[in-house]
Structure 1
Amino acid sequence: MKGSDDVDTPALRKARGAFFTPPALAHFLSEWAIRSSADTVLEPSCGDAAFLLPAVDRLRALGAKADMPGQLHGVEIHDASATAANTRLAAHGASARIAIGDFFDEGPPPSKYDAVIGNPPYVRYQQFSGDARAKSLQAALAQGVRLTGLASSWAAFTIHASHFLKEDGRLGLVLPAELLTVNYASQVRRFLLDRFAKVRLVLFEELVFPDVLEEVVLLLAEGSGGAPSFEVYQARNLNDLERMCSDSWVGYAPAGDQKWTPALLPAAALDVYARLTDDAGFSTLLGGWGETYLGAVTGNNDYFSLTRAEVAKLKLDQSELLPISPPGSKHLRGLTFGSAAWESLAKEGKRCFLFAPGPKPSAAARAYIAKGEKEGVHLTYKCRNRTPWWRVPLVERPDLLFTYMNHDRPRLITNDAETQFLNSLYGVKLNDAVRAIGRELLPLVCLNSATLLGAEVVGRAYGGGMLKHEPREADLLPVPSAATLEAVADELRAIRPQIGRALRGAKPQRAIDLVDTILLERHLGLSPLEVGGLRGARDLLFQRRVTRSRSERATN
């Protein structure tokens, strides 16, 4: 037993990822998972018996013996909580065998369980380290699942818990909604569909944990042998659990490692989105328009990107410099990045020049190279792995610039200035056949609700609620076909001034409304109600990102 100095506190519970489960969730999962009076039950992170107590009620309702000898088991790393669990069970006229220790140190007994239920600890990867992480990764690997270093504690816990089930057993867990959306959970998603015969998820529109901003899903997995799809029930709140019926479930069949993000969408909006992106007029992906690639990697932007004042001070010749879009993307708010905009940024003192001397640097360039060596720039990873270290490998000048890290939405911008660019942006080199119209109108037409929804679906949420697209994810962005763009070109040209004013005035929704009317309604035939559903679905995923960022700030 721990002494009085080790009394549990909110800070200690947070450190080990323990969050109190609303009784309605525990009762629901217990009633779903326990189907016979003889069922054996494990709560692998039992705390003070949040799931074991409703398991007692369920077993008794099914006709189990009063004391249920040997049917209830638990594991709890915090011995004071285990003591509290035993006390609560005793007051309920029941008992359980509760092992005190780390669940990842536990191996399944000779006779496995009919039901494993609980709320796994949720510790983000930043705090989940050392022996605890090593044991969790090894436990997952023992089941054939190799998790990445970004995985939070619940991922390995879910996989390990499955190992304690009988072949026809049931796994009922409360998991973070990031199960559906984050890349590191792809291995967990694949494991669930490979391991179980049926996988169901209950999603909530409202937050259901008091004082916790993290969204959750209920995992209901049973049987074995593999499932080709999973099913989802969309609940507004805990009260909706009582109204669940057999026709409440909607099935989804993900392709490969595709994220399960679409399951978060309202069924009506998902149907419209699926129909639209299967339509020939909107079935093109950004990757079908051309090649997406990362900007030049300097190894040290502060050294290689220069302001006009620095260029003058260093007396560098213009022949040893290249114009670039300054590092970052805040300056890219409109539809085009032209020479006038570049000149304005240069006058403002932005880093608009790339140090790019030829094979025989001038005396001024040699002096700057010597300065870099004195400061150790040549020792950075990228620099020391190229010869000469001061020559930045250039990429092809793109037709379009793509902002891949955004709070609101990714932006496509025509590179009218024809500048080079750095790795804070992607470039898009359009195919020859569509280059002219793509440069002119693709950034404009992508301001539609279907493409913006697609950005949320194929992208990934990062810290602070940022939406990031890797190049392969940017390639999956759904955009209109070239034929569609040609068909609406004149109408888009007519509204271009209004779009520009809306973007400059920080009113992107006005621009989106204009494009939606022309593209989605007039040309592709969606009703205003259907377009509104796409907007609402995009807003839903956006708000989930924002909510997650608040949760991260609250838990850090």
Structure 2
Amino acid sequence: MDALTPIEGRRLLLQTELDAAKTSKERNKLGQFATPSELASDVLAYAQLLLPPDEPIRFLDPGIGTGSFYAALLRHFPEERIEAATGYEVDPHYGKPARALWEDYPLDLKLGDFTQVVPPADNTRYNLIICNPPYVRHHHMDKTEKARLLAATQAACGVPMAGLAGLYCYFLGLSHAWMAPDGVAGWLIPSEFMDVNYGVPIKQYLLNQVELLRIHRFDPRELQFGDALVSSAVVWFRNRKPDREHKVEFSYGGTLAAPTTSRLVTASALNGAEKWTGLAADGVRAVSQGLRLADFFSIKRGLATGDNSFFIMTRADIAARGLSQELFKPILPGPRHLETDIIEAEADGMPKLARQQFMLDCRLPEDEVKTRYPTLWAYLQTGKPKVAETYLCSRRTPWYAQENRPPAPFICTYMGRNLAKREKPFRFILNRSQATAANVYLLLYPKPILEAALQRCPELGRKIWEFLDQIDAATLLGEGRVYGGGLYKMEPKELANVPADAIAKLLPGVDDKSAAQGEMRLQKAV
């Protein structure tokens, strides 16, 4: 890293002082994660390569904070070349001290909400926009605010954002109206937009409204922000209409200047790529026409009880409270307490596990519970109002009833880390018991063709599980998503998309040609 200037040293001390005056919860809610000096320097050094060497710089940071990117701008661009520099900061806690810090510098630091400011006239727009926008999740924005942002962003960039988009998506779209023709933008944002549904409009904008230049994704195990478990990327684009065959650089790991791996992909090929996170290493994957897990399984998230500590108990807990065992059903413990990947059943269907757990599941109305099960009624009263008024419970009738999630014979963990002792962050479980599972798991329910085969040949279950367990890590990670710190997640639709031609070969009576075509002739198998 280049040596810190005196002003950057003072800014870092100020940043530390201001951050300490807020709780991490407060800063998380407002999406306030300061850009480290080294990363800011890496970004501005790369910006130098994208602009003509003698072009005057008009710099804008729509979420400037204390000015990490501006400080880096001064380190990498001569002062006489900077024609204008503007920053917006909505939080006076950071904005006022930052304005005082930079009072002797030609930075126009405005205290206000960038999303509500009218864009400038054409001749005063900016040719270098660099920003680490606030990472505020959609559920922290009310409906009125979302509606305003949706309308304003579509007017600015021509693309309607998704309802689940975070605030950073709106910042990026709104900035389009601030960019000079051929201007360059570099956005430090969560890399999840490349894989999730709400990121589709962002990708449409990058492919159709501007010339996407490069996306560099940092190694998720190397957190860029010490207080945010988010995998980060820097997205570079130029404000000009794209050539469909222009090439986009996808890089991964290391730094912008020295990535671990890099690959060029044509913009036209990106239109057919559902997920972008693996492009630096693997390029655009061919779309398989074969079978997927969705052809054999209905995949659902496990039970979300609303409050596990209230609804899930051990046998000893149930007895100590004087509750009736008949009101409970077995439920598997969490993955870290599950020491085996094959769960055998006792004679009564209970899982043969050292740690046996049970979930309260009663659908009787409360007055009937009071008459028939007075101890349960008394226990339920202890859950009012705290548990009964949680989001999930308040939407159920009665509030203590659970979702319908029968035991599934095949289970996959919903999230995990790529630990050294385990090659894959996801585990597949063969469940021969009558225990259901919570939402830390994905439940795989066989569809009719597979269900019929399993009934005729029970030993087929282990072969199916062996196939699932042997799916290579790259395939699973290619469908799932990754967050900061190397945390991987897999949603039902993502797991359903995993190739599964090999399962067809295990089923007697399935036409091989149909597997090649991605279809199954059900009448031949059932």
Aligned to 1:8: 14
Corresponding residue to 1:431 among 443, 447, 462: 447
Letter of the 1:459 partner, please give it. Answer: G
Percent identity, aligned pairs only, is 17
Indicate how the Cα distance of structure 1 residues 178 and 342 shifts in structure 2: closer, same or farther if over 3 A, else same: farther
Aligned to 1:28: 46
For 1:353 and 1:239, locate their aligned partners in 2 and report how far apart those are by CA, in whole Å. 50
Gaps of 5+ in 2: 1-9, 21-26, 90-94, 155-159, 419-424, 509-526
Aligned to 1:232: 249
Aligned to 1:51: 73
Q: How does 1:360-371 map to 2 (within 5 A)?
A: 366-371=373-378
For 1:191 and 1:353, locate their aligned partners in 2 and report how far apart those are by CA, in whole Å. 46
Aligned to 2:299: 292
For 2:195 and 2:275, locate their aligned partners in 1 and report how far apart those are by CA, in whole Å. 6
Shift, 1:305, TM fit? 4.1
Indicate how the Cα distance of structure 1 residues 232 and 393 shifts in structure 2: closer, same or farther if over 3 A, else same: same
The 8 Å contact of residues 345 and 351 in structure 2, kept in 1 or not, is answered as no
Indicate how the Cα distance of structure 1 residues 28 and 376 shifts in structure 2: closer, same or farther if over 3 A, else same: closer
The 8 Å contact of residues 412 and 443 in structure 2, kept in 1 or not, is answered as yes
Shift, 1:175, TM fit? 4.2
Higher strand share goes to which structure? 2
Gaps of 5+ in 1: 58-66, 89-95, 488-556
Letter of the 1:30 partner, please give it. Answer: Q
Q: TM-score, normalised by structure 2?
A: 0.66
Letter of the 1:429 partner, please give it. Answer: Y
Name which of structure 1's ranges 396-405 and 306-315 shifts more when overlaid on structure 2. 306-315
Q: Does 1:249 align with 2:264?
A: yes
For 2:176 and 2:339, locate their aligned partners in 1 and report how far apart those are by CA, in whole Å. 48
Q: Does 1:169 align with 2:176?
A: no
Letter of the 1:121 partner, please give it. Answer: N
Q: What CA deviation, in whole Å up to 9, does each residue of 1:150-188 have, x standing for no partner?
A: 736x44433332221134433234445455456665543
Aligned to 1:190: 204
Q: Does 1:201 align with 2:215?
A: yes
For 2:42 and 2:408, locate their aligned partners in 1 and report how far apart those are by CA, in whole Å. 55
Q: What CA deviation, in whole Å up to 9, does each residue of 1:82-112 have, x standing for no partner?
A: 5766756xxxxxxx56243346054322125
For 2:103 and 2:359, locate their aligned partners in 1 and report how far apart those are by CA, in whole Å. 69
The 8 Å contact of residues 412 and 427 in structure 2, kept in 1 or not, is answered as yes
Letter of the 1:375 partner, please give it. Answer: T
Aligned to 1:120: 131
Aligned to 2:497: 476
For 1:384 and 1:143, locate their aligned partners in 2 and report how far apart those are by CA, in whole Å. 34
SS at 1:444 equivalent: helix
Letter of the 1:447 partner, please give it. Answer: D
For 2:98 and 2:317, locate their aligned partners in 1 and report how far apart those are by CA, in whole Å. 63
Q: What CA deviation, in whole Å up to 9, does each residue of 1:313-364 have, x standing for no partner?
A: 677776x356423353334443422214998867856324655588998999
Aligned to 1:109: 120
Aligned to 2:515: none
Corresponding residue to 2:474 among 453, 461, 472: 453
The 8 Å contact of residues 322 and 353 in structure 1, kept in 2 or not, is answered as yes
Indicate how the Cα distance of structure 1 residues 107 and 327 shifts in structure 2: closer, same or farther if over 3 A, else same: same
Aligned to 2:524: none
For 1:166 and 1:51, locate their aligned partners in 2 and report how far apart those are by CA, in whole Å. 18
Letter of the 1:25 partner, please give it. Answer: V
For 2:302 and 2:260, locate their aligned partners in 1 and report how far apart those are by CA, in whole Å. 52
SS at 2:461 equivalent: helix
Q: TM-score, normalised by structure 1?
A: 0.63
Indicate how the Cα distance of structure 1 residues 321 and 185 shifts in structure 2: closer, same or farther if over 3 A, else same: same
For 2:338 and 2:259, locate their aligned partners in 1 and report how far apart those are by CA, in whole Å. 49
Count of paired positions: 452
The 8 Å contact of residues 244 and 266 in structure 2, kept in 1 or not, is answered as no
Shift, 1:238, TM fit? 5.0
SS at 2:185 equivalent: strand
Indicate how the Cα distance of structure 1 residues 114 and 478 shifts in structure 2: closer, same or farther if over 3 A, else same: farther
Shift, 1:431, TM fit? 2.0
The 8 Å contact of residues 190 and 233 in structure 2, kept in 1 or not, is answered as yes
Shift, 1:142, TM fit? 0.9
Aligned to 2:404: 394
SS at 1:284 equivalent: coil
Aligned to 1:324: 330
What is the alpha-carbon root mean square deviation over aligned residues? 5.0
Indicate how the Cα distance of structure 1 residues 178 and 387 shifts in structure 2: closer, same or farther if over 3 A, else same: closer
Shift, 1:417, TM fit? 1.4
For 1:200 and 1:183, locate their aligned partners in 2 and report how far apart those are by CA, in whole Å. 21
Q: How does 1:264-275 map to 2 (within 5 A)?
A: 264=280, 266-267=281-282, 270=283, 274=285
Letter of the 2:429 partner, please give it. Answer: I
Aligned to 1:516: none
Indicate how the Cα distance of structure 1 residues 137 and 80 shifts in structure 2: closer, same or farther if over 3 A, else same: farther
SS at 1:410 equivalent: coil
